[in-house]
Amino acid sequence: MADLVQTLLTALAIGSLYALIALGYTMVYGILKFINFAHSDIVVLGAWISYALAIKLLPMLGLNPHDAETAPPLWVGAAILLAAMLLCGLLGFAIERFAYKPLRRAPRLNVLITAIGVSLLLQNVGQLNYVFGASPQKMPALLPNIDLLRLSLPGGDGYREVVIGLVDVMIFSTSAVLMLVLEYLVYRTKLGTAMRAVSFSTDNASLMGIPVDRVVSFTFVLGSMLAAAAGFLYVMKYPGVNQPAHSIWVLLGLKAFVAAVIGGIGNVRGAVLGGFVIAFVEQFGAFYISSNYRDVYVFALLIIILLVRPTGLLGSPVREKV
């Protein structure tokens, strides 16, 4: 029971991260119909920008960034989060403008290859010595390390404690707020209607007077901001910041993409659902079967879903027309 609850809580926190990243994949796919391979690198940059800002900002406040015990006031974390989101939003805008926009009418494979190129570029530029460097760093603690709640639950031989940490709660609640904002934006505002119209049919949307280019740019900015938030939250949970080209980031991005596909790519609510499904499969598989194969479960699930229901859980079937 105790193990079950603890795994459940971890899955919720991780799942909300996957969901945040998956949203970026799914929005871009919905509108431009290609996988933005560079999306996971925006997550990485979000994480590294947060690290760089924290290292610079904390000494200014008279705090030692390498001291894990004292945490800065809450607004510091919020400011870093916002700054990382803004910078990554700008970056997303620039990538779309210079790499993808000239290829708007090109075959999808070309755009995909370009996206891989952008991804490699971001990884390796980030890895340069005078950018972020090629060695892992430790993220300073921005949140006090307090346990909000300790539950005693039956488990094993007697009772075991289940700890709900502040970090997990913050991850979950921040993601939840961001997702609700996005939900409002996509389904309740004029801009969101425009986004959905472009996703439905680019040509018809532009005939109806929707500025397609601006909507696409906005989508990229939005997706990149969510990715940056995910990157920030990820290094809050796991303070060891790996170098930009480390395969752990690629796996994170891949799993988020799998989440988007499982939920039904192009579907905003599906991405959130997929993120949680993936996290549950991964965490429970890791705990109850073997933690060595946690990545294998996710990809196995992907293949099963693609074989059984290729459009994903919430996707609607599309008929291909000549």
123 contributes a contact to another protein by CB under 8 A = yes
- For residue 138, what is the enclosing H or E element? strand 137-138
Per-residue interface string for the shown chain with another protein, residues 228-267, x marking contact by CB under 8 A: -----------------x-x--xx--x--xx--x------
What tokens were used for 168? 């997990």
Query: Considering beta carbons, is residue 82 or 134 the nearer one to another protein?
Result: 134
Distance of CA 33 to the CA centre of its chain: 19
In the complex, least distance from residue 120 CB atom to another protein, rounded to whole angstroms: 4
112 contributes a contact to another protein by CB under 8 A = yes
Binding test (CB under 8 A) with another protein, winner from 7, 127, 137, 206? 127
Q: In terms of C-beta density within 10 A (0-12 exposed, 13-18 middle, 19 or more buried), how is residue 112 classed? A: middle
Q: Which of residues 295-314 bind another protein (CB under 8 A)?
A: 295-296, 299, 302-303, 306-307, 310
113 contributes a contact to another protein by CB under 8 A = yes
Binding test (CB under 8 A) with another protein, winner from 61, 106, 163, 177? 106
Are 229 and 23 spatial neighbours (Cβ–Cβ below 8 Å)? no
Amino acid in the structure at residue 271: A
213 vs 209: CA distance, rounded Å: 11
291 contributes a contact to another protein by CB under 8 A = no
Are 165 and 146 spatial neighbours (Cβ–Cβ below 8 Å)? yes
Strand blocks (E) in 146-296: 147-155, 158-165, 240-241
**Which residues bind to another protein, rule: CB under 8 A?**
34-35, 99, 102-103, 106-114, 116-121, 123-125, 127-129, 245, 247, 250-251, 254, 257-258, 261, 292-293, 295-296, 299, 302-303, 306-307, 310, 320, 322
